[in-house]
Amino acid sequence: DQQVKQNSPSLSVQEGRISILNCDYTNSMFDYFLWYKKYPAEGPTFLISISSIKDKNEDGRFTVFLNKSAKHLSLHIVPSQPGDSAVYFCAASPPGTYKYIFGTGTRLKVLA
């Protein structure tokens, strides 16, 4: 059973608008979350993270929101740029483990 879910396989957004990528998780014990971006033929690269003690973290155009009661996190990209077109993965780390559990990914396409 998928513990980290990204229910939208793809998303298209106009350049300059906001992109919102969503991620749901099932285990309330997860205490750290990460977002990765992946271009074709490359490895995933780290984008932004958030600890469960926070509900928001910002880094430039990227903001991650965490709603623990809903077991939901989202990544906001504002403004979206064509170079943001990639597959985005969310990942969660259970406490006291060495593992990162990834979602299935959302392919973002930013239209110029």
Residues that bind other proteins in the complex, under the rule CB under 8 A: 4, 6, 9, 31-32, 34, 36, 41-46, 49, 51, 89, 91, 93, 95-105
Cβ 15 to other proteins shortest distance, Å: 27
Nearer Cβ to other proteins (85/89): 89
Cα angle, residue 15 at apex, residues 44 and 104 outer, rounded to 5°: 30
Smaller CB distance to other proteins: residue 44 or 66?
A: 44
Nearer to other proteins, 13 or 34 (CB): 34
CB 74 within 8 A of CB 59: no
Which position has the token pair 């064509």?
82
